[in-house]
Amino acid sequence: DQQVKQNSPSLSVQEGRISILNCDYTNSMFDYFLWYKKYPAEGPTFLISISSIKDKNEDGRFTVFLNKSAKHLSLHIVPSQPGDSAVYFCAATMNYGGSQGNLIFGKGTKLSVKP
């Protein structure tokens, strides 16, 4: 059973516009969420994270929003650039017993930013 879901396999956006990538989770024990970016033939790189005690975290062009009641988070990229074209993975974890350190990943959303 998927605990972290990214329901959109792909997203296409025009350069300069906003990209919104969505992620839903089912486990209410998750208390920390991360976004990773992956280019082809490279390992994922950490982008931004948010703790469950916050509802927003911003880093430059990237903002993550967390709606705990809806068990939903989203990554906003403004403005989108062609170099942002990559697969974006949402991940969640909980600080609970033996699961500490393990990330549960979604299946990813492929973002294409067109010039």
Partner 1 sequence: DVKVTQSSRYLVKRTGEKVFLECVQDMDHENMFWYRQDPGLGLRLIYFSYDVKMKEKGDIPEGYSVSREKKERFSLILESASTNQTSMYLCASSYGWTGAYEQYFGPGTRLTVT
Helix (H/G/I), strand (E/B), else coil: 112: strand
Closest CA to 36 of 49, 17, 26: 49
Position among 8, 15, 27, 32 found at the interface with partner 1 (CB under 8 A): 32
Among residues 73, 66, 102, 68, the alpha carbon closest in space to that of 90 is found at 73
- Distance of closest approach, residue 14 Cβ to partner 1, in angstroms: 25
Q: Which member of 42, 70, 83, 97 binds partner 1 (CB under 8 A)?
A: 42
What sign does the CA torsion over 82, 44, 87, 16 have? Answer: negative
Which of 18, 12, 26, 15 lies closest to 90, judged by CA?
A: 26
Pick the stretch among 14-22, 54-62, 65-73, 103-111 that binds partner 1 (CB under 8 A). 103-111
Interacting residue with partner 1 among 25, 63, 108, 111 (CB under 8 A): 108
* Distance from C-alpha of 32 to C-alpha of 7, rounded to nearest angstrom: 20
- The site map against partner 1 for 44-73 (x = CB under 8 A) is xxx--x------------------------
Q: Which residues bind partner 1 (CB under 8 A)?
A: 6, 9, 32, 34, 36, 41-46, 49, 89, 93, 95, 98, 100-103, 105-108
